[in-house]
Structure 1
Amino acid sequence: MESIQFSSEEKALIVRKIQLYFSEELQQKIGGFDAEFLLDFFGKEIGVYFYNRGLYDAQAALAAKLDDIHDAIHQLEKPTDFSR
């Protein structure tokens, strides 16, 4: 898996969110460089867990849709003398 790349605008927004979290929840100031370093760390070390969870969720959603399609096709079947 390649590393996730954010645009400079996305990265700036995420860094601001990290800084806001530190300020509001931890009552600590964190500079932009430190917030960006933290973002890079989480992206590299923790991001794969979130990425994999997203894949599992996507796979489950796709499987549910395929079940719906299977059921829809089954409902279209016409009766014949052959049994399954």
Structure 2
Amino acid sequence: MFHIKITSEQKQLMISRIQQFFLEERGEEIGELAAENAYQFFVKELGPFLYNQGIQDARIMAEQKLMGLDEDIRSLEKTLNTK
């Protein structure tokens, strides 16, 4: 199972938001147990997709930063007199 580190307060907030979503979007009141089951499903089944996208975004950003750093370092090189 995909493991995510969150505080109990964050988890409770997400469960409350799931309940709110069901009420607002579907007109259904669901209890905390049903909302927690939905939360567990989202974490297990959707979490890896979101996590991997975050990793990909971080990789792209790091590559861009490294390219900029490489350009900055190359700009410090002195021209050589080869005569």
Identical-residue share of aligned pairs (%): 38
Q: Distance in 2 between matches of 1:81 and 1:24?
A: 73
1:38 and 2:31 correspond: no
Q: CA deviation at 1:18?
A: 0.7
* 5+ long unaligned stretches in structure 2: none
Q: CA deviation at 1:2?
A: 5.7
Q: TM-score, normalised by structure 1?
A: 0.87
Q: Distance in 1 between matches of 2:80 and 2:5?
A: 55
Q: CA deviation at 1:78?
A: 1.1
Higher relative contact order (CA 8 A, sep 6+): 2
> What is the total number of aligned residue pairs between the two structures?
82
Provide the alpha-carbon RMSD of the alignment: 1.6
The 1:42/1:2 distance shift into structure 2, 3 A limit, reads closer
Letter in structure 1 aligned against 2:32:
G
Task: Write out aligned runs for 1:1-84 (5 A).
Answer: 3-81=3-81
* 5+ long unaligned stretches in structure 1: none
Secondary structure of residue in 2 paired with 1:65: helix
Q: Distance in 2 between matches of 1:68 and 1:26?
A: 48
